[in-house]
Structure 1
Amino acid sequence: MSFADELENFRMEEESAQQFFFGYLALQHIPGDNSAVLKKLNDTPTFWITARYSLLLAAFVALGRIFDQDHKSVHNIDKLLRAVSDEIALFNPASLEARRIADGMDPTFAREYAADKYTLTPADVRSMRKTVAKWRRIYELRYRDIRHLVMAHRGIPRSQVEALFADTKIDEMKDMLGFLHALYGALWELHVNGRKPDLTPTAFRLLPRQGYGGSDNAGERMYRDAVNLQYSMLDVPTPMRDED
């Protein structure tokens, strides 16, 4: 599988994880903050409880597909980095110039555009692997067992389930998803524009508002849509503020 194919598969997985988790957060935040919304949701509680649980389940499943190292996995974050390493010759000014010309850019302009762009090194790839390993350790420490023991299988005692969830951290999940989104963006920018990779985790801004302006982050769009859906059932304005 080529780098471009692996990157696109990774994008779909990391954006899915964002959407599922931030959709779940919206169904946690808004009813807790607004009694009128909570009352309206309680008119059809079975649906909303099921929807909230399903979103959380899907988020953990998506994270598992990204981080788990099952040899049967067709795509995961390791295979993405292996493609980067195997095709490292793609990430230099000469290759960028050739891609730009193939896309229709004037050859002289393409040469000038690509001349000072970044050349990826094996040390860069090792640094990416090190950062991925750090986040995988966090996933394995606090989240993998939820996926395997609670979401995928039944049978462990309720006390153990509660202990697993008690050890999770919403801000940590946001940072993990922010790192995955930053990794995708860094590799896309490197391939398309020759920019040096920056793996600083994306800081998601969960601001409910009407309309579709603003960020292109899948998680933020999902959060806003889920908020607007809940408030659309009421004759009250959507509050304009950040959520914790």
Structure 2
Amino acid sequence: MTQLDTLCLRVRDVAAQKQFYCDVLGMSDQGDGRIGYSAEETALQFIEADGPYTPQASDLYWKIAISVPNIELACAQLQARGIAVAGPQQFRDVGYLAKFTDPEGFTIELIDHWFAGDRPAQEFDKRLFGGGPHLSLVTLRTSDIAAIEPDLFDWGMTALCVQPVESFGFTLYFYAFTNERPPNPDLTAVENRTWTYQRTYSVLEIQHVDALEQETLPEAGAAGYGGLRLSAAPAPFRSERLLIATE
């Protein structure tokens, strides 16, 4: 099945980035210069850039999210290594979240598998980051979800969840290469949200920003988003707007 294979990010110090994601976040070598958690999930590939990364609110690329069975453990592990991360908070009916940045300034979101107070009693490995992490989301932005969604469906992606966050001026859309269907056919249903975060494969999240006139594409060679590669696709796919393509 087609999958979100590799997220490319341009950075100043490739070796330091790989060391951070492996030593601190528990990723490992996935071959071909890529690192990640497993072959089922999106791997990261860092490419040398000309200068520092300077994110802005209109950027096409926003973040990755790492889902964990115990977000308090993940935050404590980061804090023990001197990494600035606030304790997790329940953000509306979206998720039980925390955020921090990597050494180059890229945002990483932590998402618990459950909303605050809903986590069932369960066993997890305290030696692992957050008790057992997986790269659950790759998040891009758009000013026009209607312009890009047909391509995603043509590629064979399935819509898993829709999360309106009107007071913040955006709506979140979630898509994946999967035969699974969310528990509620109403994609806006709250029960679909933690279900999405618990998937073992990586999901494409699109933040549709109401007030955004046009998302900003990265300049050639500059630090930032370098594109998202698909693998095992039955036909060549390419989106110039999202910088997503088959290998």
The structure having more radius of gyration, on CA atoms, is: 1
Which one has the bigger strand percentage? 2
Is TM-score (shorter-chain normalized) higher than 0.5? no
Which one has the bigger helix percentage? 1
Structure 2 length-normalised TM: 0.23
Structure 1 length-normalised TM: 0.23
